[in-house]
Structure 1
Amino acid sequence: MKVEIFSDVVCPWCYIGHHRLRQAVRLYEGAVEVAHRPFQLDPDGVSGGEPLLGALERKFGGAARVAQMTGHVTGVAAQDGLEIRFDRAIAANTFEAHRLIRLAGRAGREADMADRLFQAHFTDGLDVGDPATLAALAEEMGVEDTGEGAEEVRAELARARALGVQAVPLFLFEEKFAVSGAQPVETLVAALREVEERTAQERAVRVPDGEDCGDGTCAV
């Protein structure tokens, strides 16, 4: 089964969603191919080294409101074993970070690169929009940055817009069934099983006459 997760590496709920999806895949009995898809919460964002809390306070109306928001998500993340430090985080444009994830995917290290970028932003206080920082992270993860991948990222961002993705994380199963938000692990496991059942039913219906079917099932 193919699962695409649309996310941004500066989205705390995406960090939680990635973590929970990994757990769900381990608990699910079938084979799952996970593909990471880019989404930018702020496509016009600038990587200038500004502390994230200051940027959030301007956007959401002050320190009290932001403290409430960040406190909630930090608490949820802690329950999942994830450390989120908004006091260290740096506001960043994430296009180049997504390009690195894309390049890592060519070597089968897409998930590892995404995880490292989440940790870099939320725990280590690194600027994931800074070229030097990204170069160091790529080297650390064994990803060769050839400078390629920008057009692919632009195409995937355009696809996300065409699909109507407006909030992340969003999980797209088999390009048909979507689940939005950092759902509990058990919800994601249930979604995997339900999609498996629905897909099997559709395949059985679509098998043309003459194909090899028996005992009420089809060898697909």
Structure 2
Amino acid sequence: MKVEIWSDLTCPWCGLAGHRLDRAVERFAHGGDVELIHRSFPLDPDLPSSPAVPTRQALKQKYGMDDAQAEAATRRVEVLAEREGLRPYIVLDNKKAGTQLAHEFLAHATAQGKHAEAWRLTFRAYFGEAHSLFDVDALLELSDELGLDREETRQVLVERRFRQQVRDEARRAGTLGARGVPFLVIDGQYAVAGAQDTETFLDVFQQVWDATHPQLVQTPDGDADGVCGPDGCVLPGDHAARA
């Protein structure tokens, strides 16, 4: 079962959804048959990566929120995340900027065989440590933690080798119906929007599994000649001989 989740890296609900999705896969009876793939969806692809601004200021500029509204909009997800083991989970007292380059870093890490590790590390660094994701030097620190070649990573980021791939991933999400993130697609057919809780993800997994893996029902043996039995139908011996 192929599970794809589109996220942006400074979206707090995306970080929480990724955590819940990991827990759901761990608990799912067929978790070993789940292929979990993270996809990029920068919400503001044209936003510059510098300068990074305080989240309070970003919310005021984009949505016109005052301090009280910013508190209300962010503290809820912080509390939920911390209840689920993500401590600390820094949203309001963080910074925001364009994430396009960070997504390109993740595409490079994926090409180097570090897909899941890179996504988890990047979310943890940003929300757990308020680590910048917005310039080459900050991303190289994450590259070092992943054991990637530092100079190769620098060259990839400077040359913007994965810029088009990131754009293509976001465009595909749009064709599948995404109007925001997190956005989940299972087996290319079943879509789930929003940071659903772990139990909901589990229920969806089971529904899709049941729909795509019909249950075999064992019945008594077929006719005496053994033409049809519990393992299917075969040609009788004399029929096979005539053929």
- Whether TM-score is above 0.5 comes out as yes
Say if 1:131 and 1:183 are closer, same or farther in 2 by CA, change over 3 A: same
Partner-residue secondary structure (3-state), 1:179:
strand
Distance 2:92 2:211 in 1: 45
Native 8 Å contact 2:70 2:92 kept in 1: no
Give the superposition deviation at 1:142.
Answer: 1.7
Native 8 Å contact 2:12 2:91 kept in 1: no
Give the superposition deviation at 1:215.
Answer: 4.0
**Residue of structure 2 in register with 1:65 after alignment:** 69
Give the superposition deviation at 1:214.
Answer: 7.5
Distance 1:39 1:87 in 2: 21
Give the superposition deviation at 1:38.
Answer: 0.7
User: Which structure has the greater CA radius of gyration?
Assistant: 2
Give the superposition deviation at 1:135.
Answer: 1.4
**Residue of structure 2 in register with 1:152 after alignment:** 165
Native 8 Å contact 2:104 2:163 kept in 1: yes
- The question of 1:193 aligning with 2:206 is answered yes
TM-score (norm 1): 0.86
- Percentage identity across paired residues of the two chains: 34
Gaps of 5+ in 2: 215-227, 233-243
Deviations 1:50-103 (A, max 9, x none): 112211122232111001111111111111111222354121211111112222
Deviations 1:120-149 (A, max 9, x none): 222222221111101111122123425132
Question: Which of 33, 36, 52 lines up with 2:35 in the alignment?
Answer: 33
- The question of 1:54 aligning with 2:67 is answered no
Give the superposition deviation at 1:44.
Answer: 2.2
Q: Give the partner amino acid of 1:120.
A: A
- The question of 1:9 aligning with 2:14 is answered no
**Residue of structure 2 in register with 1:209 after alignment:** none
Say if 1:55 and 1:102 are closer, same or farther in 2 by CA, change over 3 A: same
**Residue of structure 1 in register with 2:238 after alignment:** none
Q: Give the partner amino acid of 1:29.
A: A
Q: Give the partner amino acid of 1:72.
A: R
- The question of 1:109 aligning with 2:122 is answered no
**Residue of structure 2 in register with 1:90 after alignment:** 95
- Alignment coverage as a number of residue pairs: 206
Question: RMSD of the TM alignment (CA)?
Answer: 2.0
- The question of 1:79 aligning with 2:92 is answered no
Once the two structures are overlaid, the 10-residue window that deviates more, 79-88 or 165-174, is 79-88
Partner-residue secondary structure (3-state), 1:36:
strand
Give the superposition deviation at 1:15.
Answer: 0.5
Q: Which stretches of structure 1, 4 residues or more, deviate above 3 A after TM superposition?
A: 213-217
Native 8 Å contact 1:88 1:122 kept in 2: no
Question: Which of 127, 130, 137 lines up with 1:132 in the alignment?
Answer: 137
Distance 1:184 1:165 in 2: 19
Distance 1:187 1:160 in 2: 21
Native 8 Å contact 2:20 2:197 kept in 1: yes
Distance 2:202 2:92 in 1: 33
Give the superposition deviation at 1:151.
Answer: 2.2
Native 8 Å contact 1:4 1:172 kept in 2: yes
